[in-house]
A and B are shown apart, each in its own frame.
Chain A
């Protein structure tokens, strides 16, 4: 048993080494260009495909790598070191895959699709938010219309990250034309069955390579492309925790990279003046303590979720305490990344502020400010403040 898990650990360490090498050789050299041009990081995504990483969370029985959520989080973190946008696309894809793996195994269609996802290394995007709903995932205006075995759906999506470059999209909608806004289903639609009419572009401060433009999505499919579980349950069990854990992990990667840049800068200073330790080394110590808080917070949340996934209490995912802690992870990590990168910027000084220096931290800082907005922190805080009223003990 132990030997088996040791073997798995060694295998994963080898995979991580490959991800690092790919990050260094392929992803990082293009990160500035992807950011400048706000273009899809196709070379990096191709490299991820070559390592079969788009099927990383798909169980081995369906041909995937069968990695755990903890391992997916670790890969997200590693990618964050090299390019925030590439890491974000990887994470967002895995969130969709987690929804399929956790809620689609009982469906022949979904199992066959997951096999196909692995073989073709298909990239899955998400259309959850809707124009007119102001970022609220838990209600929809659009509804699927079923006729016989097929359905059709039109959704006005303010953002579909990498929508143009995806192979499939998972969409939320009301169950039927007369269902209440909160009675939602989660459907998988394929590129050959949808059209995307652009309604807004993606020229933003950070995460520019995610190409999260807005579209009117028009699609159709067979009714077996509707996940059997209601979306409200998919959200609590899978989408919400997986999103916050993988996002926070890649933010940790961005923050760690900023710290590495600051460290190498301070080291250069120390080399130049061997007799006086640079004053910025104190700041480095402070920043490192903040980074550790961030890392520990993610570690705790990721392990708690993995334990729930490994357990057999499906109700545990909806316990309000767990929901609050997952929300707190997002709130904390999105603040701490800004804190850490800001500190790194102070340490590095003007070289970090320059776009054209090898110590540049501009992209890190711009990406960092996006984290509080993607699912706005105020919305999350509002949700938590409500749930906290019900709790007796923290």
Chain B
């Protein structure tokens, strides 16, 4: 389940102000304290973890807005 791996990476690199376990898959990560600086670390870790590269077109707030959103993008990129 890639969503569990996303949660794991998010817990390690997201620097959120609340524990990842308390978040729903559709919770707003920006509201949970995701900053732009943390997004960089998160993106790089997702790239390493899933062996993918985020294209520039995927680099927007929406991509990192929730666990589901990240998982959707990661799954799409990994399927390529």
A residues adjacent to B (C-beta < 8 A):
138, 175, 179-183, 230, 232-233, 236, 315-316, 318-321, 383, 386-387, 389-393
Contacts and interface: CB of A to CB of B under 8 A. Distances in A.
A387 B36 contact: yes
A318 B39 contact: no
Nearest to B34: A182
Contact of B31 (A183, A383, A389): A183
A232 B60 contact: no
B37 A386 contact: yes
B5 interface: no
Contacts of B53: 392
A179 B31 CA distance: 8
B2 interface: no
Interface centre among A179, A319, A392 (most CB of B within 10 A): A319
B28 A390 contact: no
A318 B61 CA distance: 5
Q: Give the interface SS of chain B, mostly helix, strand, loop or mixed.
A: loop
Contact of B55 (A181, A230, A392): A392
Interface of B: 16-18, 28, 30-37, 39-40, 43-44, 53-57, 59-62
B31 A232 contact: yes
A319 B17 contact: no
Contacts of B59: 319-321, 390-391
Contacts of A318: 60-62
A318 B30 CA distance: 13
A179 B16 CA distance: 12
Given A180-B18, A230-B28, A318-B61, A138 B33 contact: no
A199 to B, nearest CB: 28
A321 B56 contact: yes
15 contacts: A180-B17, A181-B17, A183-B31, A183-B32, A230-B31, A232-B30, A233-B61, A315-B61, A320-B59, A321-B56, A386-B36, A387-B36, A389-B40, A390-B40, A392-B56
The 4 closest A-B pairs by CB, nearest first: A318-B61, A180-B17, A183-B31, A320-B59
Contacts of B62: 315, 318
Nearest to B38: A386
B28 to A, nearest CB: 7
A182 B35 contact: yes
A116 B40 CA distance: 43
A179 B33 CA distance: 10
A393 B55 CA distance: 9
A230 B60 CA distance: 16
A262 B60 CA distance: 44
Given A180-B17, A387-B36, A320 B30 contact: no
Contact of A182 (B33, B37, B61): B33
Contacts of A230: 28, 30-31
Contact of B36 (A179, A180, A383): A383
A183 B17 CA distance: 10
Contacts of A315: 60-62
